[in-house]
Amino acid sequence: MDQAVIPFDWARMLLGDPPPAFLFEILFRTVLIYIYTFGLIRWIGGRSISQLSLVEFLLVIALGSAVGDSLFYPDVPLLHAMLVITIIVFINKSLDYLILRSDRAQKTIDGVPNWVVRDGRLNPEQTTNRGMGKAEVLALLRIEGISNLGEVKHAFLEANGGLSVFRVKQPIAGMPIMPPHEILPPPRFDQESPEAKQGSLLCCYDCGTLRSQVEAACLHCRGKTWTAATMPDSNLA
């Protein structure tokens, strides 16, 4: 049978059963777990922590665990929890200092933007670096009010997972992304399809690269599926 908890037992509340030297082990554990978790979140990518920097996101989850456990678990000594919280805040402030003082540290810690759309076509290699697929990028573009890739001059996936979109002054023909392809896919064809010989402007279904005729493979992404390019104003007609 578990021993009854004695309220306001200051020795238990502040130090618990471990010896005082255990505080140094807590220091080691906290730093090690922080670095390990930081690396995993950095690998996951910015889309999982949109609107927060990686450091801010890690601070929230680390403090949430350290503070929450110490509030109602009687076997969690307060001094241990306070030490963990102090270490976490100290690491966070140190990283903030490095980010402010060094561009190289800022790029290493927060990451760099990815150039996901350029002149009306997707950059698959850039989205792959962030663990994002074509459908996710197109969804972010639609959230920004984009209905056709021909409306976009440049789009950058920022380090925090947000999307920065720069529209062209004069839209050109491009791949329609509205309605979403998952709901209503545009007509697709390959080099042998009858539609490929009609002479209309085409675009690669995988990246949106414009071509006047179907090719065996897209020179930009090596995709082999094509669709008709349309003007942005005609997408919702």
pLDDT tens-digit map of 128-185 = 767 778 888 899 999 999 999 999 999 998 877 788 999 999 999 999 999 999 899 8
Q: How far apart are the first and last CA of the chain?
A: 74
Q: What is the pTM of this model?
A: 0.65
pLDDT band at 93 (very low <50, low <70, confident <90, very high): confident
Neighbours of 5 (CB within 10 A): 9
Candidate from 33-47, 128-142, 192-206 with smallest mean pLDDT: 33-47
CATH of domain 114-234: 3.30.240.20
CATH 3.30.240.20 domain locations along the chain? 114-234
Pairing of strands 210-211, 114-118: unpaired
Candidate from 9-13, 86-90, 145-149 with smallest mean pLDDT: 9-13
pLDDT at 234 > cutoff 60 = no
Q: Residue 235's closest CA among 190, 189, 171, 154? A: 171
User: Phi and psi dihedrals of 30, rounded to 5?
Assistant: -65, -45
- Please give the Cα distance from 139 to 146 (Å, whole number): 9
- Answer for the pair 171, 210: CB distance below 8 angstroms, yes or no: no
Neighbours of 163 (CB within 10 A): 22
Peptide bond before 171: cis, by omega within 30 degrees of 0?
no
User: Phi and psi dihedrals of 48, rounded to 5?
Assistant: -85, -10
pLDDT band at 237 (very low <50, low <70, confident <90, very high): very low
